[in-house]
Amino acid sequence: MGNACGSTPATDTRGGIELRGSRRGTRARSQRKMTASEEELLHRQALAIAIQQTQLSQRFEGSMSRRIGSTSSRRRELPDSLANAKPLPLQLEHLETKKIILVHGEGFGAWCWYKTISLLEEVGLDPIALDLRGSGIDNTDPNTITNLADYSKPLTDYLQSIPDDEKVILVGHSCGGASVSYAMECHPKKISKAIFLSATMVLDGQKPFDVLSDELAYADFFLKESQFLVYGNGRDKPPTGLIFDKQQIKGLYFNQSPLKDIALAAASMRSIPLSPIMEKLSLTSENYGTVRRYFVQTLDDHMLSPDIQEKLVRENPPHGIYKIKGSDHCPFFSKPQSWHKILLEIAQLP
């Protein structure tokens, strides 16, 4: 599968926000040259992601209702009310861990968790938001990131650095779910729980891109529409990234978010490295399978539709399922209090 875990030297945290590797780890696997057919496949898949933006933004311009199927897992639906919210009773001494590691999704950075961090710190928990490589204020060129291990290195470095008897709760948003799954395979004994927030909760042998594939239609028709693609190695090479149009990300990601948060995102989001979301994950029951997983569904999501989220939890059932009504793809902006309550509930589960 090409994403076996390797041991890397621990690095430092920068103010609880950024964790950046000071030197590159030794690559454990050999890399072979792509065949022409493989390059063409990668190109077509990359274009399909770009097409998704156009199709979904058009699809959700008007009102739309969706039927959500049922699953056997436990669910919670929480309204958001910042004005009348009361802090939930939290007995810190009974928690398995107070440390919550927040992993952003594609194009985002540690900055997107600012509301979540504030709410968690107010109740005495210890949130840490990380910039994955090429994201946020990490100065890595996204076009140079060639695999999921490289992209996720700040997360795996952090887990490698903590004592063996210490545990954390991992939270992954959107395609950050792939990095969380990879970390679960690498360091399962250091992870108390994993929370997938409208995230790519993939199966063994599946790519994060596969989660989006059901949303894609008539890809061949749009194969020449490459305005969203980044060719960091030249136009004669496969694309290396995606860069989003500001108007389209507003409709896809932030259809319920406050204008000030949309403005923050428009100024802060960076291009997305393609290789990590095109890579198949190798997940085992001995490692990944030993960590308790929880999925949080966002019911007004235009990026990862409720139907696709339902399919994810049906095919890969987690230990618990929660729902946030009226939330777009980014509940840390649109429904911060509902999202906070879910985090606290999961943190207190035995």
Q: Which residue has the higher pLDDT, 1 or 322?
A: 322
- Which of 110, 117, 102, 77 minimizes the C-alpha distance to 270? 110
Q: Specify burial of residue 39 (Cβ count, 10 A radius: 0-12, 13-18, 19+).
A: middle
Average pLDDT over residues 289-313: 95
Residue 7 lies in a domain: no
Residue 136: CATH number of its domain: 3.40.50.1820
For residue 206, give its domain range. 36-60+69-82+92-348
Residue 332 lies in a domain: yes
Residue 51 C-alpha from the chain's centroid: 20
Among all residues, which ones are annotated catalytic? Answer: 174, 301, 329
Whether pLDDT at 26 is above 70: no
Whether pLDDT at 142 is above 90: yes
Whether pLDDT at 227 is above 50: yes
Residue 8 lies in a domain: no
Domains identified in the chain, total number: 1
Residue 119 lies in a domain: yes
Residue 2 lies in a domain: no
Where do runs of H (alpha helix) occur along 8-64?
Answer: 36-59
With beta carbons less than 8 A apart as the criterion, state whether 157 and 5 touch.
no
Residue 12 lies in a domain: no
Residue 31 lies in a domain: no
Q: What is the per-residue pLDDT for 44? A: 61
Mean pLDDT, the chain, integer = 80
Count the Cβ atoms, other than its own, within 10 Å of residue 92.
12
Q: What is the per-residue pLDDT for 71? A: 35
> Phi and psi (nearest 5°) for 306?
-55, -35
Q: How confident is the model at residue 45 (pLDDT cuts 50, 70, 90)?
A: low
**pLDDT (tens digit per residue) in 246-293:** 787 888 899 999 999 999 999 999 999 999 999 999 999 999 999 999
**pLDDT (tens digit per residue) in 184-194:** 999 999 999 99
**pLDDT (tens digit per residue) in 172-182:** 999 999 999 99
What's the rounded Cα separation, in Å, for the pair 244 and 224? 17
Q: How confident is the model at residue 37 (pLDDT cuts 50, 70, 90)?
A: low
Residue 194 lies in a domain: yes
